[in-house]
Structure 1
Amino acid sequence: MGFTIEPADTQEIQPLREQYRREMDCQIIHDSLHARPGWTASFLIKSASRAIGYGSVAKGGPWSEMPAVFEFFLRPDFRLEAFEIFRAFLDECRATRMEVQSNDQLITVMLHTFARDITSEKILFRDHQTTTLVRPGAAVRKTEPGDIGMFESLGFDARADWVLDFDGRLAGAGGVLYHYNPPYGDVFMAIAESFRRRGLGSLLVQELKRVCREGGHVPAARCRTDNIASRRTLQRAGFVPCGHILTGRLCPA
């Protein structure tokens, strides 16, 4: 089979990206990179002038010094040539690394075939169960202007629009980010050091999941692979692990 690989803009690969999103059927961690000007370089893969796939490289922000392949999609009837096409894509895009999510089967196979020094940076979680956790003395409410001044000293994210009070004191903060592929929302939160190991983190995650669902979205989450406390917190709130963010160094042809 003959094929060509050529630079493309986001609009040119959009129909294939929609097919990719449907096939993934989960939160796509790097989905929003395409909307950031100058952050990605994409390539359209064609056979006999027909678009059969695409590949994308992150090259802005944290990837500016080490461009990384983060998406690779082929129409199912062209995957018999997947290894050859991916090798040609690598020759064209000049990336030095890969950063993929393991629940994307095709690109994960490519990662383990063409990359070395593969490590897991984060664990991905999907919603599995609605919990009914209760903690006497704890209450979750919307962030108020007076709360924000304490966020930095407590280690809270400035984007948090919900807080958790415990016995009248500010104990945690979090929110849901919606700039991923619809309908997913990414739950994030933090608990102040002096209030940890009391079950407050799981309670806050539970309530953020509720807010997410009430807005018509599907909750998702992630944490660092080595963060055992966060893993337990997310699982107690009804999340289950569903994948990893994997990185690897690409080898010369």
Structure 2
Amino acid sequence: MEIKVIPVALADIEPLRSIFLHESNFQFIYNKCHLYDWADTYLCQVNGQKAGYAAIWGQSRREDRDAVFEFYMLPPFRALANLMFPELQTVSGATFIECQSNDTLLAAMLYEYGHSIQAEAILFEEHYTTHLHLPGVVFRRKLVTEPNIYNAGGYILELDGEEVADGGLMLNYNLPYADIYMNVKEGFRQKGLGSLMVQELKKEAYLMGRVPAARCNIKNQASKATLQKAGLKPCGFILKGALH
């Protein structure tokens, strides 16, 4: 049996990525690495057949190519993952892994071949619809003079005519997901404004034909509580580790 990993263009592995994203059925935060040409891609072959693919980017510097962030094997070849992954390390020279814990195959490779593993962020997915309301608070979007296809920003909360929070939706993740971001001004925090903003941004995401999602630093308890109050729930973690 011949196991082989070869560098290829993104277009060569796009059909395999489509299967990976369909099978995964979650927001894949590293999708932007391909959009912005931050990654190198590899085709995995078994006896000359397309068996899977991998992608590498720079853990600390985008110009480096030292961290595996995608590794996918088609179901008929998945049992060979433990033969393919070491070959990927050899060919690519990767010394790190970054992955989502809900990406079960790459997470398994992280725990088998990695060390010094740490969780960096919590991932959130939609759970239920909330009906939060704060008297006197208005949600609206400012006039957008220069639309950005990857960033739907300019949403604000106003209290008595004063802007007290802002936020938006990042659209550079895999379809149909949109990633919520927001900020509440100092002096107005811990009043429920953050959760109200997230609730309203969830609605905006659906109106765009997107599914809302979010993430926060694993140590940010305030953001975690805000997202959960707005009807999101933890669905995974961003994990990082070094390779043996």
TM class, shorter-length: over 0.9
Q: Which residue number in structure 2 is paired with residue 21 of structure 1?
A: 21
Tell me the SS of whatever aligns to 1:120. strand
Question: Which deviates further from its counterpart, 165-174 or 11-20?
Answer: 165-174
Higher helix fraction (1 or 2): 1
Partners of 1:78 and 1:113 in 2: CA distance: 18
- Give the AA of the match of 1:33: C
Instruction: Go from structure 1 to structure 2 and tell me whether the alpha carbon gap of 1:84 and 1:106 turns closer, same or farther (over 3 Å shift).
Output: same
Work out the CA distance in 2 between the residues paired with 1:15 and 1:159: 28
8 Å contact from structure 1 (residues 40, 60) kept in 2: no
Shift, 1:226, TM fit: 0.3
> Residue 236 of structure 1 corresponds to which residue in structure 2?
229
Per the alignment, residue 109 of structure 1 pairs with 108
- Which whole-Å CA distance do the structure 1 matches of 2:62 and 2:98 have between them? 10
Percent identity over the alignment?
39
Cα deviation code 1:27-85 (max 9, x no counterpart): 00001211223x11111011222111011101387343572100000011111121111
Matched to 2:71, the amino acid is F
Which structure 2 residues correspond to residues 1-253 of structure 1 after superposition, within 5 A? 1-37=1-37, 39-59=38-58, 62-65=61-64, 67-144=66-143, 160-251=153-244
Shift of residue 8 of structure 1?
0.7
Contact 2:5/2:44 (<8 A) preserved: yes
Helix, strand or coil for the counterpart of 1:193? coil
Corresponding residue for 1:154?
Answer: none
Q: Is the contact made by 2:199 and 2:230 (CA closer than 8 Å) also made in structure 1?
A: yes
Distance 1:179 1:114 in 2: 30
Structure 1 length normalisation: TM-score? Answer: 0.90
Structure 1 unmatched ranges of 5 or more: 146-157
AA aligned to 2:54 is: G
Structure 2 runs not aligned, ≥5 long: 145-150
Q: Is the 8 A contact 2:154 2:167 kept in 1?
A: yes
The CA distance in 1 between the partners of 2:155 and 2:26, in whole Å, is 25
CA distance in 2 between partners of 1:61 and 1:144 (Å)? 36
Mapped partners of 2:172, 2:242: distance in 1: 28
Aligned residue for 1:98, secondary structure, equals: strand
Contact 1:66 1:96 in 2 (8 A): no
Code of the residue aligned with 2:86 in structure 1: it is R
User: Number of aligned pairs?
Assistant: 238
2:152 touches 2:171 (CA, 8 Å); kept in 1? no
> Matched residues in 2 for 1:143 and 1:250: separation?
46
Letter in 2 for 1:200: L
Distance 2:11 2:143 in 1: 40
1:88-142, CA deviations, whole angstroms, 9 ceiling, x for partnerless residues? 1111111121110010000000001111111111100000111000001211111
Report the alpha carbon displacement of residue 177 of structure 1 after superposing the two structures with TM.
1.1
Greater alpha carbon shift after TM alignment, 16-25 vs 47-56: 47-56
Amino acid at match of 1:8: V
Please give the root-mean-square deviation of Cα atoms over the aligned residues, in Å. 1.6
